[in-house]
Amino acid sequence: MLASGARIASLRLESRIGRGGMGEVWRARQDGLSAPVAVKLLHADPARREDRARAFLVEAQSVAALDHPHIVSILDFGLLTEEEAQGVGLWPGCPWMATELLTGGSLRERQPSGWPELRGWLEALLDALAHAHARGLIHRDLKPDNVLFDDAGVLRVVDFGLVLQLDKAGTEAPFSGGTPVAMAPEQLSGDWRRQGPWTDLYALGCLGWRLATGRWPHEAAGLPELAAAHAAGRLPPFVPRLALPDGVEAWLRALLRPAARSRPAPLLAASFPARPQRGGPRLAAEGGAARAQPSPGGGLHPQPRRLALARLCTMAAAGAEQEAQRPDAAALAPTRGLAGVP
């Protein structure tokens, strides 16, 4: 049983922050440092320890390879020694990782104050995904709970527990799972060999739709019905709860196309909405000042963001084109009546 005061390496656990199905997160202090850190430890029943531990270490190694202002920073990771395991009530060899402590809450607890803030969040997420994708890592579980903020309001993508490593695709199956309301059809089908950057783009579309409207694009009572809705691609009317520029709806609908090969091409990057909205109250003078200043939740200027967006969309389009050339790709093509966006 974990307890306050237990030690792991140079870390002393202070208080539990949260607990999930696979582990716990604790606030901790490192010897010689005043700033607190977060320590994540794996919990798993004996029958599933090996698989869970492998996925946990893949996550730690993957995040350690990333260095981006919108991705959580990992400070250390390792395996519990026998002495440490006894002290925390876990088994020897149990994996752990220490990351920066983010105390600004999650995206689940926030609503955008307007288009400038929403745009900042979306661009920050695109930057983070572009960085991970360029290093062959697909997140596969982008959702409000996995987007945290620091005290300054800068967001970080966290929890790479379902990460797909493209350099190992075809040799090692990733840990299965995800959040059905934000999962692409190819992920819901369970065929991880068809997943790639375009899968994260779909999840971003789901998240953006929810932030803009307050609802997920597809909602259903059960998993089979939800999976069918994602595959069909019939989206509900887009009813934003804040004033948005022209183009936001079309941009989101493009991200949410059920067929991976039909999701954003590089041209979509140049069309990321920036002009005053249609519908709802006008956003006076939104066009100039918002582009000249760093966006809320961001920290990077718009031009690097635009380049990151273009890079991400280019990678997704290239991957989808390769997918379309597979001999059995025709089996994935939706019928004309279920093609989603016109």
Residues with catalytic function: 141
| 11 bridge partner residues | 8, 30
Report helix, strand or coil for 280: coil
User: Pairing relation of β-strands 155-157 and 147-149?
Assistant: antiparallel
Contact 192, 172 (CB under 8 A): no
What does each C-alpha distance from 290 to 104, 127, 200, 295, 296 come to in angstroms? 23, 18, 26, 7, 9
Nearest Cα neighbor of 133 from 261, 293, 306, 309 is 309
Q: Which residues contact 101 (CB under 8 A, 6 or more apart)?
A: 27, 35, 36, 37, 38
Instruction: Report the alpha-carbon distance of residue 227 to residue 212 in Å, rounded.
Output: 22
Instruction: Report the alpha-carbon distance of residue 108 to residue 86 in Å, rounded.
Output: 36
Q: What are phi and psi of 42, to 5 degrees?
A: -85, 135
Instruction: Report the alpha-carbon distance of residue 235 to residue 256 in Å, rounded.
Output: 9
- Residues 223, 224, 227, 228, CA torsion sign: negative
